[in-house]
Chain A
Amino acid sequence: MRTVRKLFYGGAASALLLATSIAQADVTVLGWPGGPEETALRAATEIYNARSEVAEDDKVKLIFFSRDGFFDKLQADLAAGTDAFDANLLATYSIGRYAPYMTPVSLSGDAADVFGESVLKTMQFDGKQYGVPTDLSLHFLYYRTDLIEELLADESAAAKYGDISEKHLGVRLEPKSPDDWTWQDFAANALYFSKSVNPDSPTRYGTVLQLKNLLFNIMVFHSLPRSYGADWMDADGNITVDSDAYREALKMYKILVEAGATPKDSFSYEYAEANSAFGSGQVAAMIQWNAAAADLTDTEKTPVTADVTKTIAPPTGPDGRFTHVHGLGLGVNANGKNPDGAKAFIEWLSTEDAAKAYALAGGATGLTSSVVSDIANERPDLVPLGEYASNYGFVMNGGTSAKALSVYELQAKEFTDYLSGGKSLDEALSATKDGMADLLN
C-alpha cells in the first residue's frame, strides 16, 4: 500500500512538473530529430531559457518527430495551417516549399560576421531571410596521402601519368599535390590509380562516383560543373542546364565511368557504398560529404585507410573552386501561436555567443574564420567547414525554390541515363532543360 501511495505521489509530482514546464514553455520549436543537431539544439535552448531577459512566456520548448518522411510531413502540417509549433526546421533545398507558410526573420546585427554571406544565403528565398543557419553540409575531396607521396616522388610514374592523361583526357598532365588540383587533375589521378587503365595501380579504382539515381548524388556532382561556370538559370530566368559547363562535367564523369575508374556497380552507389569503397583501401580519392570525415579518419571505424586519409576542398575549375553547400536551420511558422517569441529565439541563435554554444554542443555550424578560431581547439573540424563554405560555397540559382528537390530528382534521372548509356548527352540535357523549365518557370 505504501508503495502504491509512493508511486501515486511520484506520478502526480512528475505530471505537475511536466505541466508546469509546458505552461512555461510558450515558444514551441520543431527540430531535426536525432544526431548532433538535436543535442546541439537542446544545449542552446537550455542556455536561452536560462537567460534572465527571456520572459516566462517566451521560454522555448522543443519537439521532434521521426526523420522518416520528415519534410513531407512538415509540408502537410504547414499547409494545413498548424499552430502546433512556432518555429521549425528548414533545409536549403526545401525553403521554397515552405516559404508560403513562413515569416521572414531578422537576424542579429553581427550575423554576417558570424556566418558569412554564403552561409546566410543557404536560408534565403526570393531575397528574404527565412531562417538562421545552424548546420552545414558541403563536400570535401578525400584522398590517400601515401599514394600521392609515392606518386610525386616517382619520376617514372610521372611519365606514365602523363601518358594516361594524354590518352584519356587529351592533355598531358603532371602529378600534383591535391590542393593544387583542377578537375582534370582529379580525373587524371582517378585514371592513373585504376587497374583497368594502369594494371600496376596499387588500388583497384582511382575514384568512386556515387551514381545511384538519387537527388543527393547530384548535389555531390554539382561542385564540378559549377567550377566550369554552370548554373540552373541565368539572371533572366532562362534555363541554362545545356551549357558547355554541364557538358564538360558530364563528359568527364562519362570518361571515368567508361574507363573503369569507378566501381562497376557505381550506379547503385550512394553515401554509404562510397564510404565502404574508400575505406576498403581500393580507392585513391573521392568527393564526399563532410559528414563522412569523422568516420573515414577514425582508425577504429576505418582501420585500413584512416591514418593516410586527408581532406581538402574540391578541385578547382576555370571559374574557380566550388563546393555545393546546403544548410539546416530554423525559421518561423506564420501560423504559430507565438511568432514574436520564435523570432526572438531565432535572432538570438544568430548571435556569436549562441552560434558558438551551438557548435560546441556538437552542431556543424558554418562560422567565419574570426569566430571559429575561438573554438578551434574544441572543434577543429569546423575550421575548414566555415572556411570552405565562406570561400567556395554556392547555391544554384533556383536551388531554394519550391521545386528545387524535383529539379535534383530530374537531373539525377537524366544524368544517370546518359552516364549509363541509356541516352546521348544531347537527349539527356534537352530532356533536363524541358523538365526544369516546367518546374522552375
Chain B
Amino acid sequence: MTRSTENRILATPLVLFLLVMLGFPTILDIIYSFSEVSFENLRSPTFNGGRNYISILNDPEFWSASWFSMKFGLATAFAECILGLVLAVYLAPIIRKNTWMIAVLIMPMMIAPAMMGLMYRLLLHEFVGALPHYMFYWLGDSPAFLSRENVFTTVFTIETLQWTPFAFLLFFMAYEAIPGEMREAAAVDGARGLRMFWHIEMPMMLPTIAVAFFVRFIDGFRVFDNIFVLTGAGAGGATTSLSIYIYLSFFRSGEIGNAIAASVILFCVSFLALFFAGRLLRRSGA
C-alpha cells in the first residue's frame, strides 16, 4: 500500500464525518434559503427563487442589525486590543515574578457569555443590584444603564471587560517571546521606554495584534448570548445584532427561509472578510 493510499484511508472517517455533520446541514441551508419554508412544511419546502434574499436585502431591520453588529464588533475588538496591550506591557515585569496572576486576570473568560448577561442583569438592576445601590448611596442617583441612550455603552463595556483578558493573554505571550538580545541591542543603541516599544517591540507583536483583532472582531460581530439575556432585542430593536435578528426571524416569526437566507449572507460576508484578511496578513509577512 502506497503512502498516499494509506493517508486517504486514514483520512476517510474524518472526511465522512465532516461531510455528514457539516455538508448535509450546509446543503439543507442552501435549499431552505431558496424556499418558502416554515415549521409546517419543513419536509416539503417550496422553491421560491431568490425571494428570501430579496426580502432580506430590502428589510431595513436586517441592515440595522448588520450595522449594530459591525459597530459592536469593531468597537469591542479595538477596545479589547488596546486595553489588552496596555495590560500585557505594563504588567509584564510583575507577572514574570508572579505567574499566578495570569490565572486571576483571565478569570472572566471562564464565564459563559449567557451567564455574564445574567450576572449583569442582576448587578445593574436598580433595586437589587450592587452598582445602582452604591451609586444611590454615595451620589444620590444612578444612571439608567440599559436605557436606549446608554445601552450600547453598557453592553460594549460588559463585552470588553469579559474578553480583554483574551487579548491580554495573547499579547503577553507575544511580548515575552521577543528575544532578550533584541532589547539589549536596542538598548545599546540608546533606545529606551516608548521608543523601544514603538520601534522594536510593537513591530514584532504586530502579527499577534492583527490575529487578536480579527478573532475579537468576529466574536463581537456574531454577539448573541449576553446581549439577548440582558436586553433581548432592545427597545424598538436597539440592541438587535445580526445573530439576534436571525434567531428572532427563525424562532419567533417562523420565517425560516428568511432567517436562513440571512445566515447564508452572513456566512459569505464572513468568508470573504477572512479570506482577504488572511491574504493581507500573508502579504505583510505575518
Contact = CB atoms under 8 A, between A and B. Distances in A.
Interface of A: 69, 72, 75-76, 79-80, 97, 100, 211-214, 263-265, 267-268, 273, 276-277, 279-280, 282, 405-406, 409, 413-414, 416-423
Contacts of B31: none
Contacts of B207: none
Contacts of A268: 121, 146, 151, 230-232
Contact of B42 (A76, A211, A265, A409): A76
A291 B125 CA distance: 22
B252 A264 contact: no
B236 A265 contact: no
Contacts of B151: 267-268
Nearest to B124: A265
A277 B238 contact: no
17 contacts: A69-B251, A79-B39, A79-B42, A212-B235, A263-B127, A264-B142, A265-B124, A265-B125, A267-B146, A267-B148, A268-B146, A406-B253, A406-B254, A413-B236, A414-B236, A417-B235, A423-B236
B144 interface: yes
Contacts of B143: 264
B45 interface: no
A421 B148 contact: yes
A420 B146 CA distance: 11
B126 A267 contact: no
A212 B232 contact: yes
B126 A213 contact: no
B236 A213 contact: yes
What is the interface residue range for chain B against chain A?
A: 20 to 34
B147 A265 contact: yes
Contacts of A267: 146-148, 151, 231, 234-235
A167 B238 CA distance: 32
A213 B253 CA distance: 14
Given A212-B231, A417-B236, 19 more contacts: A75-B39, A79-B41, A212-B235, A213-B231, A213-B233, A213-B237, A263-B127, A265-B146, A267-B234, A280-B127, A280-B128, A406-B252, A416-B236, A417-B235, A419-B235, A420-B238, A421-B148, A422-B236, A422-B238
Nearest to B132: A265
A409 B253 contact: yes
Nearest to B38: A79
A76 B236 contact: no
Contacts of B237: 213, 413, 417
Contacts of B253: 406, 409
Contacts of B266: none
Interface in B193-234: 230-234
B78 interface: no
B173 to A, nearest CB: 38
